[in-house]
Structure 1
Amino acid sequence: MRLIYIIYQICIGLPIFVVATILTALTTMLGCWLGNGHFWGYYPGKLWSQLTCFLFLLPVKVEGHEVLDKNTSYVFVANHQGAFDIFLIYGFLGRNFKWMMKKSLRKIPFVGKACESAGFIFVDKSSPRKIYETIKQAEKVLQGGTSLMVFPEGARTYTGKMNAFKKGAFFIADQLQMPVVPMTINGSFQILPRTGKLLSWHPMKLTIHTPIYPIGKKGEENLQMLMTESYKEIEKDLK
C-alpha cells in the first residue's frame, strides 16, 4: 500500500496540486485586484486547501468550532508540525483570517504574490520601525471578525515535539487587547515532517481550544500570561 500511495502522489496528486496552486494564486491576485479582498483573499485558498487534503486522501477531523464567536477577531496560534498544517487550518478552521508569515515567503513564485494581494502580514524584524509597522498593519486588518493566524514556534519542528514560543503573536494580542485561541495539530508530522520528501498517509486532527482573553493593562505580565497559557493548552492535547 505504501508503494501504491507513493506512485499515486507522484503521478496524479502532485501534478494536480501544482496546477491547482497556480490557478488559486492567479484567482486570488485577480479577485483582490478587482476588489473585495476580504472574500478573494480567503475563499480561493480555503478551497485549495480542502482540495489538497482530499487529493492526497487525508482524513481530517476538527473539534471546538463552538467556542468561537463569529463576530470576534482572534489571534489564532498553533503548534507547527509540518507543511500540511497550512492546509488543515486554511481549509477547515472555518474563519476568515490573515496569515502572519516570514518576509522570505514573499519570494515564492505565484504564492508569494498571492499572499501579498490577500493582505497577509509579512514580518520584517530588521528594525524597531519595521516591527511597529507590522503591528499597525495587523491593527488595520483585524476588524469585523477577521482574525490573525500565527505559528508562534516560528518554524516547523524537527522532532514532532513542540518548541518554545516566540513573543510576536502575543505581543500583537497584548497591544490590540485581543483574545488568543490556542489550537492543537496532530497528525501533520506523520504526513510530511520537515525533513521528509514524500507523503505518508495519516489522519489529521485540529483541536480548537477556548479563547484566552487579556487581563489587566497592556504589558509584559499580560503577554507572558497569554503565551504561557496558550502553550499549556496546546501541549495538553498533543500526542
Structure 2
Amino acid sequence: MIKTVSWFAYFWLYQIALLGSLLKMKLLELKGRNELVRNYTNKVAKAWAKSLVDFTGSEVIVKGKERLPDEPVLFVANHQGSFDIPLLLGYINKPIAFIAKWELRYMPFISSWMKNMECIFIKRNDFRQTLRAFKDAGRVFEAGQSLVIFPEGTRSCSNKLGDFKRGSLKIALRENIPVVPITIKGSYKLREANGGLIKGDRVELIIGETIYVDKLSKEEKDDLTLIVREKIKDNL
C-alpha cells in the first residue's frame, strides 16, 4: 500500500515538475520548429515513462535490441497490464506514438505531450471516427515516429495471450511499413496481479524479427495478423 501511494504521489509531482518543460515545448511550437518540438517531446516523454517504471523497483530486461531497424515501424505487442505503455515508451529506443482513447485528448498536461508524439486518438464506440483515425496513421510514420498497437484490444491481466482483432494490422499493409512483434512478459505483476497495488517485479520485453510486408506473398499478407500473433506467442 505504501509503495502504491508513493508511486501515485510521484506521478503527480512529476507532472508539476514538467511544467517548465511544457513551457519550453510551447515556445518551440510558437517558433514553428516542429522537428525540434517532436525531438524534445520524445526525449522528455521517454525519461518520464522510464522513471515511472523504475520507481516501482522493477527489473526490466530488453532482448533483441539489435533487431530494431532504423526506419519507423509498426510495433505489435501483447497487452498484459497498465504499465505496458510506459515500459515500451521508456525502454524501446525509438520515438513512439500510441493509439489512445479519445478522452486523453483533453487530459491536462499529458494531452500536449501525446499530440506532439503524433498519438492517434479514437472514440471506441464510433466506428467511423476510428476508421478515419486509422487511415490517417500515415502522418505518424511521415513524422519519423513508430506506432504501437495492441491487437488484443484490452489488457489480459495475465500471462495468457488473447485473440487478435482481425484486420488490426491493415495499417502496416496500407502504409507499407515494417512490422516488429514485441512480447511483453510479466508486466501484469506490477499492478494487475496485486489487486491494483503496485509492486516491483521482473519484466521482459522481447523484440522479434522485423517483418517487411513488401516481401510477403498475398497469402502471407492475408494471414499477417495470425503470423504476428504466433511470433509473440512463441516468446511467451
Q: The TM-score by the shorter chain falls in which range?
A: 0.7 to 0.9
In the alignment, which of 218, 222, 234 is matched to residue 232 of structure 2?
A: 234
One-letter amino acid of the counterpart of residue 227, structure 2? E
Aligned residue runs from structure 1 range 180-219, under 5 A: 180-193=179-192, 196-215=195-214
Q: How many residues align?
A: 229
SS of residue paired to 1:142: helix
Question: In 1, distance between residues paired with 2:45 and 2:208?
Answer: 23
Cα separation, partners in 2 of 1:85 and 1:155, compared to 1, 3 Å: same
Which residue is equivalent to 1:40? 40
Matched, 1:17 2:16: no
User: Comparing 32-41 with 196-205, which one deviates more in the overlay?
Assistant: 32-41
Which residue is equivalent to 1:66? 66
Which residue is equivalent to 2:173? 174
User: Comparing 118-127 with 182-191, which one deviates more in the overlay?
Assistant: 118-127
Cα separation, partners in 2 of 1:43 and 1:194, compared to 1, 3 Å: farther
Cα separation, partners in 2 of 1:189 and 1:170, compared to 1, 3 Å: same
One-letter amino acid of the counterpart of residue 230, structure 1? V
SS of residue paired to 2:148: strand
Aligned residue runs from structure 1 range 42-57, under 5 A: 42-57=42-57
1:156-179 Cα deviation digits (max 9, x unpaired): 114431211124540111111111
Matched, 1:27 2:26: no
Mapped contact 1:105–1:112 kept (Cα < 8 A): yes
Question: In 2, distance between residues paired with 1:31 and 1:97?
Answer: 18
Question: In 2, distance between residues paired with 1:150 and 1:31?
Answer: 26
Please report how far the alpha carbon of residue 9 of structure 1 lies from its aligned counterpart in structure 2 after TM superposition.
3.9
Mapped contact 1:98–1:147 kept (Cα < 8 A): yes
Mapped contact 2:167–2:225 kept (Cα < 8 A): no
SS of residue paired to 1:165: coil
Please report how far the alpha carbon of residue 31 of structure 1 lies from its aligned counterpart in structure 2 after TM superposition.
1.0
Mapped contact 1:182–1:230 kept (Cα < 8 A): yes
Cα separation, partners in 2 of 1:145 and 1:64, compared to 1, 3 Å: farther
Question: In 2, distance between residues paired with 1:41 and 1:106?
Answer: 16
Please report how far the alpha carbon of residue 7 of structure 1 lies from its aligned counterpart in structure 2 after TM superposition.
2.1
Cα separation, partners in 2 of 1:83 and 1:218, compared to 1, 3 Å: same
Cα separation, partners in 2 of 1:194 and 1:21, compared to 1, 3 Å: farther
Question: In 1, distance between residues paired with 2:66 and 2:193?
Answer: 32
Mapped contact 1:215–1:222 kept (Cα < 8 A): no
1:44-103 Cα deviation digits (max 9, x unpaired): 110011111222211111011111122x12100111111111121000000012112222
Please report how far the alpha carbon of residue 143 of structure 1 lies from its aligned counterpart in structure 2 after TM superposition.
2.5
